[in-house]
Chain A
């Protein structure tokens, strides 16, 4: 299985690539704006918004894991918006044209920030993104992915990720209901790759959304759907203060 991972220089991209590397059947191709950070796998330095290059990048790929992560260097609002929307469109259009059938997108649970912490939130709740561009752009990228899943015989899995942290680094701090350990988030991407194991689109929704948060007691974000997809979070943040 040849897997393209975008945003490969980001912390999430690195973690996803590391998790996928454990699968000896996975052959990785990593993409980001910056120079190669790993020498042991194929690394392509290119911008998502460059259609000619992206068409080359998606060749011979079976799965595209589009982490949605911006590059480590900060970007303007306009650049964030352009990367999340036009960049996602370029990537999925090129992928569809190259025959890629499976896509996974990294979205964010921050679109539910406006809801109170006193209710359970499921995938059936309506996103209410804030105007903060890092969140709004991520959501618009998710909408772009949804349209491709509607229009083409492909599957797209959107993982709405909580705030990415490492359990041990936030021990003793007040618990945030949106936390998720970045290693668990990476496992969710691996699980999402296998969502349509039946290999028959007749039995698999082309578009699916899952909420990826920590498996804490009385969570704000219910994980039943994600667990049915194969999400197996390990970090419960017991060291954090409730």
Chain B
């Protein structure tokens, strides 16, 4: 029988492109406050509502939280932090032992002038987006540890399709949809992670030597599927 997965933020900027990588393997319930861009059925769920998250999570094997509110001085706290709290409390209440959480690469922005950036301490800054997502991650970590909920948190920045040709100036944290699919499937399948909570860089090419996915490789078995050189290939034919 397929595992039942609740996908929160299903109508957002990421989840509609994640779904094709999950729906053959998992019984995915889509939840959001907005209609799905492809017209798929949506369970109305405001992640900042404890009751709505609790109800949506009933009967699930895993919860994936792809909701986000960026730079709003009030709603960022409610959606990002209270939302994370509601997800973890719903997991406790229903005995769900797997949560996939998401956050921005920006919590590692302070290291932008460094290299080999792997599992470094987050610097949340005081911006609403980064701070609230960083505090949300701490809520997840606390609940995961207290209740043995295996929680995987992915840090994103750019997400998108595989480029069809050399694109030159890629921002270095980009992950292509296929690699996101792979990472999420690995997260849903791994029985446990150290300390019940682990956060991972998620990117598709490491040739720049700036960020790496060593930890995702080591713990999840993640391996980017594309050769990074292809995306940075110089055009040498017109000279």
> Which B116-151 residues have a C-beta within 8 angstroms of A?
123-126, 128, 131-132, 134-135, 138-139, 142-143, 145-147
Q: Would you call A147 an interface residue if the criterion is a C-beta within 8 Å of the partner chain's C-beta atoms?
A: yes
Query: In the complex, A129→B126 CA distance in Å?
Result: 22
A85 pairs with B125, CB closer than 8 A: no
**Most chain-B CB neighbours within 10 Å: which of A128, A147, A152?**
A147
Q: Does chain A have a CB within 8 A of B73?
A: yes
Most buried by B among A92, A148, A151, A152: A151
**Cβ contact within 8 Å between B145 and A147:** no
Q: Which residues of B contact A92 (CB under 8 A)?
A: 126
Residue A136 at the chain B interface, CB threshold 8 Å: yes
A151: B residues at CB distance < 8 A: 125-126
- How many chain A residues touch B (CB < 8 A): the figure is 24
Cα of A162 to Cα of B148 in the assembled complex, Å:
28
Nearest Cβ distance between residue A142 and chain B, in whole angstroms? 11
Q: Is residue B152 within 8 Å, beta carbon to beta carbon, of the partner chain?
A: no
User: Which residues in window 98-145 of A have CB below 8 A to B?
Assistant: 128-131, 136, 139-140, 143-144
Pick the contact of A140 from B125, B139, B143 — CB < 8 Å? B139
In this complex, how many residues of chain B approach chain A with their Cβ under 8 Å: the count is 24
Closest to A140 in B: B135
Q: Specify which chain A residues have a CB less than 8 angstroms from the CB of B114 in the assembled complex.
A: none
Q: Which of A85, A93, A139, A150 contacts B81 (CB 8 A)?
A: A85
Q: How far is the CB of B11 from chain A (nearest CB, A)?
A: 24
Return chain A residues, CB-CB under 8 Å to B128: 89
Contact of B145 among A78, A86, A128, A144 (CB under 8 A): A128
Is A147's CB under 8 angstroms from B142's CB? no
State the CA gap A77–B84 with chains docked (Å): 13
Q: Which residue of A lies closest to B128 (CB)?
A: A89
Complex: chain A residue closest to B85, CB-CB? A81
- CB-defined contacts of B78 to chain A, threshold 8 Å: 82
Residue of A with least CB distance to B86: A78
- CB of A147 within 8 A of CB of B82, answer no
Cα–Cα, bound, A130→B142 (Å): 6
Partner among B73, B82, B145 whose Cβ is within 8 Å of the Cβ of A81: B82
Please pick, from B82, B125, B138, the residue contacting A78 in the complex, using a CB distance under 8 A: B82
Annotate B80-124 by CB proximity to A: 1 below 8 A, 0 otherwise: 011001000000000000000000000000000000000000011
Q: Is the CB of B74 within 8 A of A86?
A: yes
Distance, CA A140 to CA B142, complexed state (A): 11
Contact present for B85 and A147 (CB under 8 Å): no
CB distance from B198 to the nearest CB of A (A): 16
Residue A51 contacts which of B50, B73, B77, B123 (CB distance < 8 angstroms)? B73
Separation of A86 and B128 alpha carbons in the complex (Å): 9
Instruction: Tell whether A93 pairs with B126 under 8 Å between CB atoms, given A81-B82, A85-B135, A130-B146.
Output: yes
Docked pose: A91 CA to B135 CA in angstroms: 17
Tell me, in angstroms, the Cα distance from A147 to B131 when the chains sit together: 8
Residues in B with CB closer than 8 Å to A140 are 81, 135, 138-139
| Residues of A close to B77: CB separation below 8 A | 82, 85-86, 89
Closest residue of chain B to A49, judged by CB? B74
Tell me the bound Cα distance from A78 to B84 in angstroms. 12
CB closest chain-B residue, reference A145: B126
Q: Is the CB of B82 within 8 A of A143?
A: no
**Contact in complex: B124, A136 (CB < 8 Å):** no
B142 touches A131 (CB 8 A): yes
- What's the least CB distance linking A145 to chain B, in Å? 10
Bound CA–CA A129/B146 (angstroms): 9
Contact A143 B138 (CB under 8 A): yes
- Residues of chain B within 8 A of A86, CB atoms compared: 73-74, 77
Q: Considering the chains assembled together, what is the distance between the CA atoms of A82 and B48 in angstroms?
A: 12
Q: Scan residues 65-79 of chain B and give those whose CB is less than 8 A from a CB of chain A.
A: 73-74, 77-78
Inter-subunit contact A150/B123 (CB<8 Å): yes
In the complex formed, the residue of B with least CB distance to A133 is B85
Q: Which residues of A contact B (CB under 8 A)?
A: 51, 77-78, 81-82, 85-86, 89, 92-93, 128-131, 136, 139-140, 143-144, 147-148, 150-152
User: What are the 5 tightest A-B residue pairs by CB atom distance, in nearest-first order?
Assistant: A86-B77, A131-B146, A147-B124, A140-B135, A147-B126
A-B contact pairs, 8 of them (CB 8 A): A78-B82, A85-B81, A86-B73, A89-B131, A92-B126, A130-B142, A143-B124, A150-B123
A89-B77, A89-B128 given. 11 additional CB < 8 A pairs? A78-B50, A86-B74, A89-B126, A131-B146, A136-B139, A143-B124, A143-B135, A144-B126, A144-B131, A147-B125, A150-B123
